[in-house]
Each structure stands twice: as structure tokens, then as C-alpha cells.
Amino acid sequence: MAAGPSDPTRRGVVAGAAAAPLAAGPALSQDLISIRTDLETWVAMGDKASGGTGDTDSGAWMESRLRRFGYRTQRQAFDAPFHRPGVVALTLGKTSVQGVAQGPARVTGPGGVTGALTWGIPPFPSGGALVVMDLPARRWSSVRQAELRDLPDRVRASGAAGLILVTNGPTGEAIALNAPAEAPPFGVPTLVLAPKDAGPVLAAAREGRAARLVIDGEAGRRPAFNLIGRIDRGKGRTVVLSTPRSGWFTCAGERGPGVALWLALLPWMAKRLKNHDIVVITASGHEYENLGAERFLHGEAPDPKRTALWVHLGAGIAARDWAQTPQGLEPLDRPDPARVLMGSAHLIEPLKESFAGEVGLEAPLPAGPAAAGELAEILKAGYPAAFGVFGAHRFHHTLLDDARCLDPAFVERLLPRFQAAILKALGEA
């Protein structure tokens, strides 16, 4: 099992970065001051689960900005899974280890399910076990990652009563996984455990000890919406700008930079792109394998043949990087390099010019199978000119993805780069 941060690490995280409000810098233009303010607003809205208060409030906030800049707005409604958790834990005798319910959650009720903990090495034993999987070290993001693709079928075939996933990653925290919206991905109640908390569980699984898994609370589906803005000029050639709005927990570093850049680009696009129609979209349902983005692509998105450019602002565009030290994780004055710039083949050279010197973005990749998130869906839909950024920063999909993972300066310096890339892609530079 990968080593996770100790308690000193947690203290170092709190003390070293943005435990206070996001720091003010030198005097900036109004656009850049808005980026700092918008990041603070985003963090303050809290949990961004699809259809929850943070997701709905942020959608209304972004809608007001669209209307201020002359966009006609529309809400595209759909239903998304939800879970309001009660007790979410594994109990071993007198020891209880808390975790995160894997969504879409299958609740057990307050009594939970009991069984022998079984080390999850194929072949699984049959009948009623609580299967423990100690996952390899990765920056985990989705149940569709290669190492997990056959796990749902294996769990179902085993007759397991429940599943415990230990998500070994770069922080020692539990990492929630994106999953399809239709049903619980593994067919059984599933608990995600932080590596830093998993020692007693792994030891008990090796011994085959009995345990009780409880995933309590209310689960089902609730209304969510995509927010769409349009400026129709009758030009017949559309520029699309997209960013997801929902996610696991506060998702400050995962979603915040994309949201702030999306908001900062709105007035600039309205003023500068006079030769194009404009469609902007901020989608909910992201944590359910791009549920809202798929609804948009198959319902309200412009025809690829009439789309001049699609720009996507995905996960981890400009989150903080961290150093692993003997004292724990220490914040660095640079963005996390675990981010990818990808675009249509004919846009690679303009993207290189626009993002030169930005670590992780300086070598854009041509569109291909390495695409992730909503950008993958956009490219598969056949849009001939598209580019975007996606990544998984160190605290991606964890409870600690909060203000500590942000520095407004990292986001501010990307704004002129995106503006330059858009103009070059449209031949208007």
C-alpha cells in the first residue's frame, strides 16, 4: 500500500497554503480582480454534488453573470443521483473506520451488512463476503480507469455483500470515483477508504475477520440542470465554451479555475468575437461520467458542421502543486503539472505558441484516445476544431480539495493565453 501523509502532513497542509482567504496580489485589471473574487465565491459555495445546494447556487450565480453580459440563458433540466449521507463506515469489533460512499450510492440502512472481510485477489470467494481491494497507487478519478474496468463483473460474480476500495493516491485521502449514473457501479454497497485509515481493515482482511459495513442516509435522484448561454448574431458559425460545474466535495482546485476562466472569458467573447455566434455551457452531472455534458451534446449543442471552435475548460487547469517532504505535504508556488492540453491536429501549433512556458501545457497533444472527461465526448462527437485542458491535481476528488489548492495568480496568467489561442484558432489573431 502506498504511504499516505501522517498527521504532521495534515497540519502542514493547513498551515502552509491558503488556510486564510486567497491572498491579494499587486494591482490588477478588473478582469483579473474578478478571477480572485470568483474563486473565493466558488469555494464559499461548498459541496458541488450534482443537484445539491452548491451546484444549484453556483448555477444561479453564473446565470446572473451571463445575463449581465448580454447572453440569452436557458436551463436544460435532467435528473442526477444523490446521497445525503448518514453513517458511512466499516466496523471491526469496537473499531469504526469512516469512509466515503461510492456513488451512485447503494445504501444499507442503519443496520448495515455483515460478512467476513476477504482480501480481493482473484478468484473471489463466493457468497456474502465484504471484499477489500487495495488499489495500486494512482491519481484515481473514475471507475472506468483501466485497472477497474472488469471489477464490477468480478464483484457481481462473487456474490459479495459489499466492497471496500482503498484508493492509494498522492495524499493518503479517500478519492471518490466518477461512475455512470444508471446504477451503483459494483452492484453492492461500496465504501471508499483513505489509505491513511485503512491499516486495521487490511490487517483484518488478511485474517478473514468479520465486519459490518454501513452506508446509511437518503439516496435516489434529484433535479439538476445545465446552464446554457447564447449570443445569436445569425453568422452561422458558432464558438462554444464549456466547463463542468458539479463535482465531488468543494472541488476548489478541480473545478474552480475552469469556472473562473469561463466567467472571465464571457465579456471578452461577447465583445471580441463579432463574426461568430456564441454558445457557452456549464454542465452539472460531471461526477456521473459527464451526465450533463452528454445531455447537452445530444440535445442543445450546435451542429458540428456549423461550429467554428469548441473550447473546453476541464479539471485541474491551474491547481496548486505540492511537495512531499519528511514533514508532510508542503505547498509550492507553481501549478500542478499533471494537466494536459489537447486539441484538433491543425490547432497544435497555435496552441504551442499560446501556452509556451506553461508547465504541463507547453506540449499540446493531438486529439486521440488519451482524452478524458467531457473533452473526450466533445472530440468523439465530431467537432472539427476543438481544444481543452484536463487533469487530476494532487487533491483531486478528495475532501481536502479546498482553498488551499488555489492560487489566483495561476489562473490569472492563463486568461490571455486562452484568449490568444481562441483568436489564433479562428484566424483572427
Note the pLDDT tens digit of each residue in 292-343: 999 999 999 999 999 999 999 999 999 999 999 998 999 999 999 999 999 9
Tell me where in the chain the CATH 3.50.30.30 domain(s) lie: 87-219
State the pLDDT confidence band at 28, using cuts at 50, 70 and 90. low
What CATH code is assigned to 87-219?
3.50.30.30
Q: How confident is the model at residue 182, as a pLDDT?
A: 94
> Is a pLDDT exceeding 70 seen at residue 349?
yes
| Position 366 pLDDT exceeds 90 | yes
The type of residue at 24 is A
| Its pTM surpasses 0.75 | yes
Q: How many CB atoms lie within 10 A of CB 274?
A: 10
What is the structure's pLDDT at 122?
Answer: 57
pLDDT at residue 370, rounded to an integer: 77
Average pLDDT over residues 196-220: 96
pLDDT tens, residue by residue, 114-166: 999 998 765 666 678 999 999 999 999 999 999 999 998 888 888 899 999 99
Outline which parts of the chain fall under CATH 3.40.630.10.
27-80+222-425
Mean pLDDT score across all residues of the chain? 91
Strands 113-119 and 130-134: parallel
- Superfamily of segment(s) 27-80+222-425: Zn peptidases (3.40.630.10)
Residue 26 has pLDDT above 60, yes or no: no
Cβ-contact 148, 136 below 8 angstroms: no
Q: Between β-strands 339-343 and 328-335, what pairing exists: parallel, antiparallel or unpaired?
A: unpaired
pLDDT tier for residue 223 given thresholds of 50, 70 and 90: very high
**Residue 7 confidence class, pLDDT cut points 50, 70, 90:** very low
Are the C-beta atoms of residues 54 and 45 closer than 8 Å to each other?
yes
Q: What is the structure's pLDDT at 33? A: 64
What pLDDT sits at residue 371?
A: 81
Terminal CA-CA length for the chain: 51
